[in-house]
Amino acid sequence: MNIQKVGVLGCGLMGSGIAQVAAAAGFDTTVLEVEQKFLDKGFDTIRKSLGKFAERPPEKGGITAQQKDQILARLKGTTKPADLADCDIIIEAIIENVEQKKAMYAGLDSIVKKDAIFASNTSSISITELMTATKRPERFMGLHFFNPVPLMKLVEVIRTIATANDVFQTAYEFAKKLGKVPVRTSDKTGFIVNRLLVPYLLDAVRAYEEGVGSIEDIDNAMKLGCGYPMGPFTLLDFVGLDTTYYITQVMFEEFKESRFASPPLLKRLVMAGWYGRKTGKGFYDYSDPNNPKPNKL
């Protein structure tokens, strides 16, 4: 199967990034949103990101002003699902809500051509459950991108027990055409990255609760001792404590293993509305964003 036209659902943080990399790879790309104002916001983000690429030298992934215009010309925004009818692949990146995603898929299933692939970018919802909203189980799968999409190289390519081999292979090759490095995995909650990362992050919180070290010292230890680009608390604040807490609930519900259970401190930070960078407070205080100070917790 030859993918030429890409449809993206949602033009938020992830959808705008996915649309950008698809258009940059030469695909005609249409993004669906609920309201024009969300498209405007997403396209603003795309223009800013492409502007940064245009400032870089070509050997560092830079693009020319002309290439920037060509990428933007391949991108279209719409609020009408019918505009996605002739897409070859639909990548869904709407909010992480199972009912809204299923309703979206059920509606599009009868609009989008029968042999199109449906791929979800969900971080935690079962791909198999989303698949049940459609009549195309063999053409349904996951494509899990990482934030920020234009910079992060990884895509987890996720199959369910019903995904057809040729569909899986087409999506795998498509991820490569986007300039990404795909890895193969199956529909088990957390896939590869979160399955390994989440228990590590939660253990860092538990270590802090037990007095093993301060927030700063634990971060420095993992950075300098393991060569990680950032420590666990900096990463938690970056991902969002609310998002992490939600993922721990889904993973604990699935596996019933204590390593996926939220430590009390994480839950309390979320209840207090301290979600990390985006709210200005989490494990660190971001009053001065260039010089975060660890909070006394």
Ligand X SMILES: NC(=O)c1ccc[n+]([C@@H]2O[C@H](COP(=O)([O-])OP(=O)(O)OC[C@H]3O[C@@H](n4cnc5c(N)ncnc54)[C@H](O)[C@@H]3O)[C@@H](O)[C@H]2O)c1
- Which residues have a catalytic role annotated? 123, 144, 156, 194
Q: How far is the CB of 149 from ligand X (least distance, A)?
A: 8
Specify the residue, 159 or 206, whose C-beta has the smaller distance to ligand X.
159
User: Which amino acid type is present at position 101?
Assistant: K
Give the footprint of ligand X on residues 23-82 (CB under 6 A): 32-34, 38
Binding residues with ligand X: total (CB under 6 A)? 22
In 3-state terms, what secondary structure has residue 100?
helix
Q: Does 94 bind ligand X (CB under 6 A)?
A: yes
- What is the smallest separation between the CB atom of 57 and ligand X, expressed in angstroms? 28
Other C-beta atoms lying within 10 Å of the C-beta of residue 139: 24
Extract the tokens encoding 136. 């195309």
Scanning the structure block, which residue is given the tokens 């919180």? Answer: 205
Asked whether position 10 contacts ligand X by CB under 6 A, the answer is yes
Contact 262, 202 (CB under 8 A): yes
Interface with ligand X includes 129 (CB under 6 A)?
no
DSSP strands (E only) in the chain: 5-9, 28-32, 75-78, 89-92, 117-120, 140-145, 154-159, 181-186, 284-285, 293-294
The β-bridge partners of 7 are: 30, 90
Q: Which is nearer to ligand X, 44 or 166 (CB)?
A: 44
Nearer to ligand X, 15 or 231 (CB): 15
- CA separation for the pair 250, 245 (Å, rounded): 9
Under rule CB under 6 A, residue 104 binds ligand X? yes
Please choose, from the candidates 134, 101, 106, the residue with its C-alpha nearest in 3D space to the C-alpha of residue 120. Answer: 101
Q: Does 96 sit near ligand X (CB under 6 A)?
A: yes
**Does residue 282 touch ligand X according to CB under 6 A?**
no
Q: Which of 60, 95, 161, 256 binds ligand X (CB under 6 A)?
A: 95
Question: Which residue of the chain is nearest ligand X when measured via CB?
Answer: 12
Binding site for ligand X (CB under 6 A): 9-15, 32-34, 38, 93-96, 100, 104, 121-123, 145, 147
